[in-house]
Amino acid sequence: MSLSSVSASASSSSHPLSSYGWDEGWDVEFAPYTEQGLLPGRVVRVDRGQCDVVTTGGLVRADTAFVTPHDPLRVICTGDWAAVDRDGDPRFVRTYLPRRTAFVRSTSSSRSEGQILAANVDHAIIAVSLAVELDLGRIERFLALAWESGAQPLVVLTKADLVPDVTGLSYLVQDVETTAPGVQVLPVSSASGEGVDVLTAVLSGGTSVLLGASGAGKSTLANALLGEDVMDVQATRDVDGKGRHTTTTRNLLALPGGGVLIDTPGLRGVGLWDAESGVGQVFSEIEELAEECRFHDCAHESEPGCAVLAAIEDGSLPERRLESYRKLLRENQRIVAKTDARLRAEILRDWKQKGAEGRAAMQAKRGRMR
């Protein structure tokens, strides 16, 4: 390593924002804005056209009017690195640095717009409560979005103290591990402290976003990681394990053991948004099997020489996994088609072709019956 590289690295590690994730790469990216007299800062909260930004001069409140484009995926969000006015009333965010990663889901609106939940994330923590029956399909959905974002997923099974039987808990962990190939699955109890130290060590290097449904125990887990009651916590209903949204905004918080955490509101809807590669990552074993199928365009339905169907028959691949894989691929295709005219045309042609083939087969069958 050259002397200049050592100097740059030392300068980055001693930067006032290093505890919030500032590094040499961001230093290089921000250089043009330094020349313009702007101040670097990380967005820790966005609220009604304004945001809180932690800067080298402390926490400031800034207006986002200059970075409010028509594209909802380009609005400023928690986790962004921003270029802020050094002074003024009000201060403005002038721009933000290109994102390294972005966690995006589709909205529930009829326009099927994407919604960015967090930016520049290294770890996507998917909180799943053990107080209720595991919903493996929902876990797969979260994982697809996490892989697509560019972050490393991690499944945290919260409220592990509610499963005192060690053998039973191990079976639950195995079920999720089967659903999440290549992903660490960690049982954690905020009440007893089980697993919290391991999770703290994993998250100490980088930015993490905490995701999950309402009642998954995210706020309690965030408090355990922070070492203090920063997030409000409300009781969870015993009937279905659901709770009210205790977190209403996305907040970025520095962890005492290093790293930063973005806590998010409970997500009732987790729609895919152009997440084909993420789906492929979640179901990597199916995609690997598909490479062994006789036909390269095998649909894994009734084709001869289908390695995927063979795996289902011999029990090495659960049929539920294939059904979930198909469901998420179809959903993702519909979302992409709404914004891609070429894909819409391809889907329409495919439907027409299948319809014509079906009618031809029916006519041939009727002809043989006469």
The DSSP annotation for 14-64 comes to: TSTTGGGT--HHHHHHHHHHHHTT-EEEEEEEEETTEEEEEETTEEEEEE-
Structure tokens at 307: 């390695």
How far is Cα 278 from Cα 260, in angstroms, rounded to an integer? 24
10 band by pLDDT with thresholds 50, 70 and 90: very low
136 band by pLDDT with thresholds 50, 70 and 90: very high
How far is Cα 76 from Cα 98, in angstroms, rounded to an integer? 11
Q: What's the mean pLDDT in 83-110?
A: 85
Would you give the end-to-end CA distance of the chain in angstroms? 84
| pLDDT at position 7 | 38
Alpha helices in 269-318 (DSSP H): 276-282, 284-290, 307-313
349 band by pLDDT with thresholds 50, 70 and 90: low
Cβ–Cβ < 8 Å for 231, 224: no
SS3 call for 263: strand
Most confident of 123-132, 211-220, 335-344: 123-132
275: pLDDT strictly greater than 70: yes
Question: Percent of the chain at pLDDT above 90?
Answer: 54
Residue 291: CB partners within 8 Å, gap ≥ 6? Answer: 307
What's the pLDDT tens digit per position in 224-247?
Answer: 999 876 554 444 434 344 444 444
Of residues 65 and 362, the one with the higher pLDDT is 65
| pLDDT at position 22 | 95
| pLDDT at position 267 | 62
Mean pLDDT lowest for which of 147-156, 233-242, 299-308?
A: 233-242
Mean pLDDT lowest for which of 179-183, 270-274, 282-286?
A: 270-274
Q: What strand order describes the sheet that includes 123-129?
A: 184-187, 152-158, 123-129, 207-211, 260-263, 251-254
| pLDDT at position 249 | 64
4 band by pLDDT with thresholds 50, 70 and 90: very low
332 band by pLDDT with thresholds 50, 70 and 90: confident
What's the pLDDT tens digit per position in 25-83?
Answer: 999 999 999 999 999 999 999 988 899 999 988 999 999 999 877 777 888 999 999 99
How far is Cα 259 from Cα 152, in angstroms, rounded to an integer? 15
| pLDDT at position 242 | 47
125 band by pLDDT with thresholds 50, 70 and 90: very high
Cβ–Cβ < 8 Å for 298, 310: no
| pLDDT at position 362 | 55
The secondary structure of residue 73, as a DSSP letter, is G
- The whole-angstrom distance between residue 365's C-alpha and the CA centroid of its chain comes to 49
Burial category of 328 from C-beta neighbours within 10 Å (exposed 0-12, middle 13-18, buried 19 and up): buried
Of residues 327 and 272, the one with the higher pLDDT is 327
| pLDDT at position 108 | 55
How far is Cα 300 from Cα 295, in angstroms, rounded to an integer? 10
Q: What's the mean pLDDT in 99-114?
A: 73
For 70-87, b/e burial (b = at least 16 CB within 10 A) is eebeebbbbbbbbbbbee
Burial category of 330 from C-beta neighbours within 10 Å (exposed 0-12, middle 13-18, buried 19 and up): exposed
| pLDDT at position 367 | 60
How far is Cα 351 from Cα 69, in angstroms, rounded to an integer? 36
Cβ–Cβ < 8 Å for 46, 77: yes
* Averaged pLDDT score across all residues of the chain: 82
SS3 of 89-155: CCEEEEEECCCCCEEEEECCCCCCCEEEEEECCCEEEEEEECCCCCCHHHHHHHHHHHHHHCCEEEE
Mean pLDDT lowest for which of 192-196, 208-212, 323-327, 339-343?
A: 339-343
SS3 call for 222: helix
Cβ–Cβ < 8 Å for 267, 212: yes
Residue 192: CB partners within 8 Å, gap ≥ 6? Answer: 160, 161
356 band by pLDDT with thresholds 50, 70 and 90: low
Q: What's the mean pLDDT in 332-351?
A: 59
